[in-house]
């Protein structure tokens, strides 16, 4: 087991980094029941979703995965501004529209954009250089 001095692993992080919120991986699965059974063997427990609606959200400690059958073609990295890893609403967070503006200013291309004239829940989708989709989905 590797031990580190408390806080040492975060010493290289910028203090002004984007606040993307809770992180999870959304998996496109072929058989929801088989995937649920597999991830339960890894210690994940269902915390949200419904089999009848073809999706489940599972958690193991701070790790969250979403299992989605027939909803999208690729696995998706998902960030939820306004939520912590327990899906609790944060009092202070960086709004999805502000994140979108910052990314646009850096030349990031969007496949879906949040309506910047709106408030509250919104989302956008970008892709990394390898085509992996990244969903930034604000629920509050």
- Residue 12: what pLDDT? 55
* 16 — pLDDT class (breaks 50, 70, 90): confident
Q: Pick the residue with more confidence: 8 or 121?
A: 121
Q: Averaged over 74-103, what is the pLDDT? A: 94
Name the nearest CA neighbour of 110 among 97, 95, 93.
97
- Residue 8: what pLDDT? 46
Burial readout 92-128 (b: 16 or more C-beta within 10 A, e: otherwise): ebbbbbebbeebeeeeeeeeeebeeeeeeebbbebbe
Element (H, E) at 46: strand 45-50
* 3 — pLDDT class (breaks 50, 70, 90): very low
- Residue 7: what pLDDT? 46
Q: Which domains does the chain have, with CATH numbers?
A: 17-138 (3.10.180.10)
pLDDT in tens, 31-80: 999 999 999 999 999 999 999 999 999 999 999 999 999 999 999 999 99
Name the nearest CA neighbour of 23 among 83, 88, 112, 102.
83
């Amino acid at each position: 087991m590797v031990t580190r001095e408390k806080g040492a692993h975060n010493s290289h992080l910028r203090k002004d980094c984007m606040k993307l919120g809770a992180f999870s991986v959304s998996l496109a699965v072929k058989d929801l029941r088989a995937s649920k059974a597999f991830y339960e063997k890894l210690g994940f427990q269902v915390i949200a979703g419904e089999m009848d609606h073809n999706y489940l959200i599972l958690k193991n400690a701070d790790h969250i995965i979403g299992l989605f059958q027939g909803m999208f073609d690729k696995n998706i990295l998902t960030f939820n501004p306004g939520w912590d890893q327990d899906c609790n609403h944060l009092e202070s967070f960086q709004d999805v529209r502000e994140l979108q503006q910052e990314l646009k200013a850096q030349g990031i291309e969007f496949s879906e954009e949040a309506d910047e004239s709106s408030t509250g829940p919104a989302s956008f989708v970008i892709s990394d250089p390898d085509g992996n989709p990244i969903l930034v989905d604000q629920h509050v």
